[in-house]
Amino acid sequence: MALTAVFVGGIMVIQAGMYVRRLNAYSMVGWGPATPPSARSARSSSPHVLGRVGSNNTAELATMVVTEQIDGLRSLAIDPVRYLLVPRFLSMVIMSFLLCVIGDLVAIAGGMVFARLLLNIEFNIFLVSLVDNLKTWDLWHGLIKSVVFGGVIALSSCHFGLTVRGGAVGVGRAVNAAVVSSAVGIMVWDYFLTYILK
């Protein structure tokens, strides 16, 4: 994820570089890697990482259902939702938030390095342009989305993991359904959150 975020910051500097030079707008170069449209690319790293975790989560839960481990928990008066699902949900939401923070920081650092290498812009100029042009809401916009995306992936993976049918073949289908459902859910929620949080 960190490697992806570094190059996201670099890509934004490369794309902005031609306009920065043409308009002599060096005071705006730091704004590029941190603006909502570009930072969204860095924030998308956390759903991708969590998507892999979500598919693994679905496979684990589906295997537990197929091998009747969930029934074993119920026979011991252990609630599978509280014991298996709640910790998974909370951890995915929290980690989505933290991955977004890390992704944003790494993307900005990558943008600084590429701005120095490609445009010969000093780090302090980059940071001043970042601080002057970036609004607090720009950061919260991505962090709110990351929490929602983490919840979508967690709910989808847990749902398809526990409702699996058909043995080993069903486990594969459940994982595939969870990945597709998570991707669609993220796109739908991204649309509505972008409209609501604009």
* Domain spans, the chain: 2-197
pLDDT tier for residue 132 given thresholds of 50, 70 and 90 = confident
Q: Check residue 33 and report its DSSP letter.
A: G
More confident residue, 85 or 131: 85
Instruction: Give Rg (Cα) of the chain.
Output: 21
Give the whole-angstrom CA distance, residue 136 versus residue 133: 10
Average pLDDT, integer, range 146-168: 91
Give the whole-angstrom CA distance, residue 38 versus residue 36: 6
- Interval 78-121: pLDDT, tens: 999 999 999 999 999 999 899 888 888 888 888 888 888 887 88
Q: Is the pTM of this model over 0.95?
A: no
- Interval 30-47: pLDDT, tens: 666 655 544 454 455 556
Query: Are the beta carbons of 96 and 111 closer than 8 angstroms?
Result: no
